Amino acid sequence: MRLVSFLRHGFEWTGPRTGAQIGENTLDLQHATTLRLVETEHLTGDTARRLADVLSPTDMTELVAGGQVTLDAIRATHEWARADSDRASSALLGDSEITLLPVLPKPPLIRDFMAFEQHLQNIFPRLGREIPPEWYNIPVYYKGNPSAVGAHGDDVTIPSDCKEMDFEFELAAVIGRGGSDIAREDAMAHIFGFTVYNDLSARDLQQQEMSVGLGPAKGKDFARAHVFGPCLVTIDEIGDIYSKSAEAFVNGKSWCKGNVGDMHWKFEDMIAHASRHEELVPGEIFGSGTFGGGSAMEQGKFLSAGDTLDLKIQGIGTLHNRLVSAM
């Protein structure tokens, strides 16, 4: 399934909701599950709504944490709606009826790794450095701000003190099942699904703070700096993630092409490493790090207000955003 979080127009007061894409429409999962339970289980409306609140949570992190129970329930609702769209018509919403949110509006944690050797081979010479030998020994990561997330279609404001704006084209995995000291061979079973990730970066701020020996912090912590979308594709639908192609476009022009299989460090390595001596929790986001060529800095460039970014990964879709200047 292809899942999204959204606000329903006219019902914004209910807060974020979870949906599944069906063709050009979005199925409101809690609403549709209520309708399904009334029809198939002959429940009263109130009883069906209370049960749907549990089986099809309106918060994506709660839905992910529900594991196979919620996944089976929303899959049943999805199939029920696809079989006869008329009976689900009140829960099928067009683009004009919703506002998309980040696929996980409130992720518990973002861990962003550096998995692509080609990216480092492109970046480090520009910094006058060689790739640190330790990169080949452990899959390193930094922790991003889970409050600074953005959505497909959002305009992202360049920080007013940033003169060197950049993007980083990544793939992200969402943890579905928690655990600690997870073995590499068991790691893929802990992934719920995948989404496209744009890790926006104020390079001048990042370099200034990292010269002290900490960070990145404000170089990557600003409103909508971590953009996820256009949807969250469940792992059962995506197939072999390492066979997927990727391409980034800036202002409609192709800037890089790659393949997920080019990762030096795989998601299995990341999960095994990050779970050492600590508990991973459902809803955590693991970024792959930047595809080779998937940033402006690698090409000796920076971005400006008005630039558009379209990041495409086979089997997931294209994440679109535009940069705007601070008011």
| Residues 177, 250 within the same domain | yes
| Residues 178, 311 within the same domain | yes
| Residues 145, 63 within the same domain | no
Determine the pLDDT at residue 214: 77
| Residues 49, 161 within the same domain | no
| Residues 120, 199 within the same domain | yes
| Residues 274, 181 within the same domain | yes
| Residues 74, 115 within the same domain | no
- Domain boundary residue, one of 68, 101, 134: 101
| Residues 213, 114 within the same domain | yes
Q: Which of 83, 224, 51 is nearest to 152 (CA)?
A: 224
DSSP string over 294-305: -SSGGGT--B-T
Tally of CB atoms within 10 A around 211: 9
- The 3-state DSSP class for residue 319 equals strand
DSSP state of 133: G
- Domain boundary residue, one of 67, 101, 135: 101
Determine the pLDDT at residue 323: 97
Alpha helical stretches, state H, the chain: 29-41, 45-55, 60-65, 67-83, 117-123, 203-210, 235-238, 267-274
* Low-confidence stretches of the chain (pLDDT beneath 70): none
Contact 169, 290 (CB under 8 A): yes
Q: For the chain, what is the domain count?
A: 2
| Residues 91, 191 within the same domain | no
Q: How much is the pTM?
A: 0.96
DSSP string over 236-292: HHH--GGG-EEEEEETTEEEEEEEGGG-SS-HHHHHHHHTTTSEE-TT-EEE--PPT
Backbone angles phi, psi at 168, to 5 degrees: -135, 120
| Residues 97, 140 within the same domain | no
| Residues 73, 171 within the same domain | no
Place of tokens 């800036």: 250
Q: 238: domain CATH number?
A: 3.90.850.10
Residue numbers of the domain that contains 77: 2-101
Convert 31-66 to b/e letters by CB count within 10 Å (16 or more is b).
bbbbbbbbeeeebeeeebbebbeebbbbbbbbbbbb
Q: 85: domain CATH number?
A: 2.30.30.230
Total number of residues shown for the chain:
327
Residue 184 vs residues 159, 269, 271, 317: alpha-carbon distances, Å: 39, 6, 7, 28
- Domain boundary residue, one of 101, 130, 145: 101
Determine the pLDDT at residue 185: 98
- The 3-state DSSP class for residue 149 equals strand
Determine the pLDDT at residue 212: 79
| Residues 149, 177 within the same domain | yes
Q: What is the pLDDT of residues 162-177, one digit of tens each?
A: 899 999 999 999 999 9
Q: Which of 323, 295, 292 is nearest to 115 (CA)?
A: 292
